[in-house]
Amino acid sequence: MSAGGAFGGNRGVSPVPPEKGVFPLDHMHLCDRAKKEYLNCLKNSGHQSEKCRHFSKLYLECRMEKNLMAKQDMSELGFVKESDKEASGEKVTERIGN
């Protein structure tokens, strides 16, 4: 056996956690409906995720409500409130598929 162990792991080196931490998988299927709606939207839109952002937001909100991920402000996750968009004068346009 080498010093790395049976599977070639490097013993003595501690792993570095991900930046946002880890969150539990949805083993109890608490947010399956929101997940399926999002995936169906992706499939129907030709995998153009910007057209399915509202389903993505609902899925993340469900995960936060069920303690499957840390609660965060949606703006930290890339979602801007509609009132904030209007105040900044930002126009929301829908992309046309190729």
**pLDDT digits 0-9 by tens, 15-27:** 676 666 566 789 9
Give the CA angle between residues 72, 53, 70 to the nearest 5°. 20
The pLDDT of residue 92: 45
Q: Is the pLDDT of residue 45 over 80?
A: yes
The reply to whether 49 falls in a domain is yes
The reply to whether 80 falls in a domain is no
Number of domains within the chain: 1
User: Higher-confidence residue: 52 or 87?
Assistant: 52
User: Higher-confidence residue: 82 or 74?
Assistant: 74
The reply to whether 40 falls in a domain is yes
Domain that holds residue 59: 27-69
Average pLDDT, the chain: 78
